[in-house]
């Protein structure tokens, strides 16, 4: 029996903002909170009322901050607490989703079909912490001074222009042709003295 899913129409998304607007909202809220923290550190006392809590929840839902003069310190502190909890929840969701996908791939790696098994193993190998099948390109950069490069270029150009002697391969000499006395540095005068 198939499961039929019917989406509900007209449910608004939680935020109708861009990522940049959310980042700006978070930075402003943090700046407001730091200001209140500085005031509290100088001897001020802050209590959070029920109206502060409801106002901070409404600001969180709207994702828009009014000027700081329109907010109470209790609202700002409670809003920072809500945003910090939200940040942690987003990180936890990402971590749980990563674990879920990894566990499903581990399960799929034991399937009887070799095609599915190999694909699951390949995907497991691509996980960044494993990194077996990641495409890495190693680039080695050798830093040389400008004078070294110029010297090398001058030598190469001189060889191509015929101005420098080419380094030829040494001539191979057989054992019969080799002059052992000359190779050892013995002169004919040395032989007479012995």
Whether 126 and 133 have beta carbons less than 8 Å apart is answered as yes
Q: In sequence order, what are the residues at sequence separation of 6 or more whose Cβ sits closer than 8 angstroms to the Cβ of residue 191?
A: 181
Q: How many CA atoms lie within 13 A of 113 on its CB side?
A: 6
**Does 131 reside within a domain?**
no
Between the two ends of the chain, the Cα-to-Cα distance in Å is 112
pLDDT attached to residue 135: 66
Domain count along the chain: 1
Give the tokens for residue 9: 């129409």
Give the tokens for residue 181: 């006395």
pLDDT attached to residue 163: 67
What is the phi-psi region of residue 102: left when phi exceeds 0, alpha when psi lies from -120 to 50, beta otherwise? alpha
DSSP 149-174: HHHHHHHHHHHHHT-S---PPPPP--
- Which domain range does residue 76 map to? 19-125
pLDDT attached to residue 7: 61
DSSP 72-88: -HHHHHHHHHHHHHHHH
pLDDT attached to residue 99: 82
**Does 171 reside within a domain?**
no
Stretches in the chain below the pLDDT threshold 70: 1-19, 90-91, 128-137, 163-170, 189-194
pLDDT attached to residue 168: 59
pLDDT attached to residue 184: 78
Instruction: Give me the sign of the Cα torsion angle 51, 53, 57, 59.
Output: positive
**Does 47 reside within a domain?**
yes
**Does 59 reside within a domain?**
yes
Task: Give the CA radius of gyration of the chain.
Answer: 39
CA–CA separation, 28 vs 67, rounded Å? 10
Whether 60 and 17 have beta carbons less than 8 Å apart is answered as no
CA–CA separation, 54 vs 60, rounded Å? 10
pLDDT attached to residue 54: 84
pLDDT attached to residue 14: 54
pLDDT attached to residue 100: 83
**Does 1 reside within a domain?**
no
**Does 26 reside within a domain?**
yes
**Does 166 reside within a domain?**
no
Whether 192 and 181 have beta carbons less than 8 Å apart is answered as no
**Does 99 reside within a domain?**
yes
Instruction: State the pTM of this model.
Output: 0.38
């Amino acid at each position: 029996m198939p499961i039929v899913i019917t989406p509900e129409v007209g449910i608004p998304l939680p935020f109708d903002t861009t990522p940049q607007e959310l980042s700006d909202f978070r930075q402003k809220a943090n700046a407001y909170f730091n200001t209140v923290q500085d005031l509290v550190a100088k001897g001020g006392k802050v209590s959070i009322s029920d109206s502060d809590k409801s106002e901070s929840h409404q600001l969180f839902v709207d994702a828009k901050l009014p000027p700081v003069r329109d907010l109470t310190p209790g609202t700002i502190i409670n809003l920072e607490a809500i945003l910090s909890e939200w940040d942690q929840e987003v990180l936890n969701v990402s971590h749980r989703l990563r674990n879920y996908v990894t566990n499903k791939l581990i399960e799929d790696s034991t399937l009887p079909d070799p095609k599915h098994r190999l694909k699951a193993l390949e995907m497991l190998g691509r996980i960044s912490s494993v990194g077996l099948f990641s495409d890495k390109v190693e680039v080695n950069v050798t830093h040389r001074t400008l004078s070294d490069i110029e010297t090398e270029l001058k030598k190469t150009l001189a060889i191509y222009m015929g101005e420098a002697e080419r380094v030829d391969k040494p001539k191979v000499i057989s054992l019969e042709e080799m002059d052992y006395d000359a190779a050892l540095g013995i002169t004919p005068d040395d032989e007479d003295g012995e």
